[in-house]
Chain A
Amino acid sequence: MSDREQTSMQDLAAAYALGALSPEETRAFEEYLAGSRDAQREVAEFREVSALLAEGARGAAPDAGLRERVLQRIGREKVVPLADRRARTPRVPFPIWIALAASLILAVGLGTMLVKSRRELAARQAAIDSVRATLAQVETRLTERENTLNAIMEPGVTLSLLSTTNAPEPRVQLFWNREKNQAIVHAFHLTPADSGLVYQLWFIKDGKPIPSITFNSEPSGHSLVQNVVLPEGAITHAAVTLEPRGGSLQPTSPVIMIGELRASS
């Protein structure tokens, strides 16, 4: 991911509701979504907008017969579909009709049972599907955790701690992979920023702050940002400030946390 693509997750809700995220972004956003009630509400609202936009498309009218075909389609889902309409009215010699009539009575009874058990089956299938979906979500999350772990444990990665001057918490861990010149930023016990504000990371070079990513923490106080690209040159410190949403080019508020970047492990 490039630097620009590190748009803060919450900015992706509208595009997600429109279905305009790439598959990778969709996966990442859905993981974020699972843990954020705010984002769920936002997505739900943008989905209402999306539903309303359909109203703007009104123009083409469906055939009057479509309603009936919809109902037929549903009727077919309940019972075993017959391959062909003609198959229902076979031309058969007379005596067979009697036997057929008898079996038909039986079939109606069986049909009713079939309808019932089909719905039960559908309900069970639905339950299985939902368990599967949860499992897939958990697997995705696990894979991502594992990737994070692997990235942290690569050779040449150094850990720096950013903390407030007078308290042990909140804290930000910065895992710096100097070979790739990338970092993973992990914040904990960090109170989520007030609305309209975000946390912004700065790298200090020659005593001057260079703007980096903005982020916010979950209600749990955690935040994890991967693939943070470091500016070229000798970076001595990293710091965090509170900035208006969208970030700033120069810090507009006092430094909350600061830490020295260790040049060697």
Chain B
Amino acid sequence: MPDRGTLEATTGDLPLIQRIASGDERAVGELYDRYGAVLYAVTFRILGERADAEEVVMETFAQVWREATRFDTERGSVPAWLTMMARSRALDQVRSRDRRERLATSAAREDDSRAPAMGTWGKDPTREAEQNERKRKVVDAMAALSQPQREAIELAYYEGLSQSEIAERLKEPLGTIKTRVRLGMMKLRDVLRPYYFESAS
């Protein structure tokens, strides 16, 4: 079972957002220190290109800067908000370009073999340990899904396919895909609930 205490290290997302809302630029830097690396990693995985991923990360933080006053805790935690914005930007970009060939070539060209992102969190060992733990839990939870469930969720998450597009791609009935996505997400929810970010209600 997770040690609830490790979550303490994530306290303070909300004050950070309030500082940003009041025009404190340094708070954006601090928010970047917390979530910049993970947002970069997820957008890089979606886009497959360094420059595109960097652009999405910059735009996401610019959006935080503009919209911090509108952040609503009722709708979830700060990282959930950030991930939603970054993913939706990255997926928009993917959809707007003829991606399939580009990804195939760029993935081969830019297989990112640099040091793992964890290194960039080194400033705060507690936070780093907590992130490692969280990543391990997520990887384990994904591995515990059935292969078809995992495949459906990954196609939605990283390629931005709708359920109908997934059904088409896998040549499976739409109802089957819907069930896989729903049951898979419910399983993830049940397993990952103890690891939600602090500001989630």
Binding site for B on A (CB under 8 A): 4-5, 7, 11, 14-15, 17-22, 40, 44-64, 66-67, 69-71, 73-75, 77, 119, 122-123, 126, 130
Contacts and interface: CB of A to CB of B under 8 A. Distances in A.
B188 A77 contact: no
Nearest to A14: B185
B29 A4 contact: no
Would you call the interface of chain B mostly helix, strand, loop, or mixed? helix
Contact of A60 (B32, B62, B112, B192): B112
A126 B160 CA distance: 28
Nearest to A37: B74
Interface of B: 23, 25, 28-29, 32-33, 36-42, 44-45, 50, 53-54, 57-59, 61-62, 65-67, 69-70, 74-77, 79-80, 82-84, 87-88, 91, 112, 114-120, 131, 134-135, 138-139, 142, 153, 156-158, 160-164, 166, 173-175, 178, 181-182, 185-186, 188-189, 192-193, 195-197, 200-201
Given A21-B162, A62-B36, A70-B57, A123 B69 contact: yes
Nearest to A26: B162
Contacts of A73: 58-59, 61-62
A63 B57 CA distance: 12
Contacts of B23: 119
A18 B181 contact: yes
Residue in A50, A60, A122 whose Cβ sees the most chain B Cβ within 10 Å: A60
Contacts of B32: 67, 70-71
Contacts of B87: 19, 50, 54
